[in-house]
Amino acid sequence: MALIEEAKGRRSTQPPSGYTRLLGNSALGNLISRVQGAVITAGKELEKIIWARVNQIEDLDRFLVETLHEKEKENKLWVAIKKQIKKSKTINSKYEPDFIAFSVEERMCYVIEVKDGDQFDTKKASGERMTLHNFTNDISHSLSFSTKIFMCCFNARNIEEMYHGLKRKFLKSELITGRDLCLLFGINYDEIIKVRTIDQKRNLTYLISSLLNIETIRDMIKERLRF
């Protein structure tokens, strides 16, 4: 999990951040900014954790050429990540999902976006779906695979929860939970969750210590503890 102490957050106090304007304390505003930065970093780290455990495609263009007329990679899902999609000469699209995964046996390409959170505003949810569909349209003539999109909210408990968190902008058939994504990829969901909880205590300790180091906050806590 990402560490708050390593997050940059917003260092400048001029103009004041939204957190500072909300709370009237620049040190506290900066701390919350760092918490937010760590949350964003955690989402990026989730992609890396998943990638480290899947059947990785080493060279995406070579893989696509080799699998045009053969099925030598049967019974596995082969996965490529965003930076490979961006560098590919076979796939041409300005859109870059987090993962594309290929079932050679089924001639299926899964186009997948993975999110750590599960709550989005309407504009964001609509944009995410449009991006995935635009990507599949762009690559449809370049690949000898059918395509299917998935939006994965990794920590969501069920599809219904995701459906409403995404403001009902996705079809339910386009949604997949983190557990089911791991099942599709052939990796261990519970092991990933365990790995991601390791730094929780360190983050909590750092947050409490940082709050107590802010004189105004420390004095307010002391005052409240007298009751």
Model confidence at 40, in pLDDT bands (50, 70, 90)?
confident
Distance from C-alpha of 166 to C-alpha of 164, rounded to nearest angstrom = 5
Tokens found for residue 63: 């893989």
Place of tokens 């699209």: 93
Place of tokens 């699998």: 67
What 3-state DSSP class applies to 152?
strand
- Identity at 179, one-letter amino acid code: R
Tokens found for residue 176: 């997949």
What are the extents of the domains in the chain? 1-52, 54-192
Place of tokens 């969901």: 189
What 3-state DSSP class applies to 120?
coil
Say what the pLDDT of residue 95 is: 95
Say what the pLDDT of residue 13 is: 56
- Angstrom CA distances, 4 to 38, 59, 183, stand at 5, 35, 31
Residues listed for the chain: 227
Contacts of 189 (CB under 8 A, 6+ apart): 178, 179, 181, 182, 183
Distance from C-alpha of 10 to C-alpha of 93, rounded to nearest angstrom = 33
Mean pLDDT lowest among 18-32, 170-184, 206-220: 18-32
Query: Across all residues in the chain, what is the average pLDDT?
Result: 90
Cβ–Cβ under 8 Å, residues 196 and 46: yes
Greatest mean pLDDT among 7-11, 22-26, 74-78, 128-132 lies in: 128-132
Model confidence at 132, in pLDDT bands (50, 70, 90)?
very high
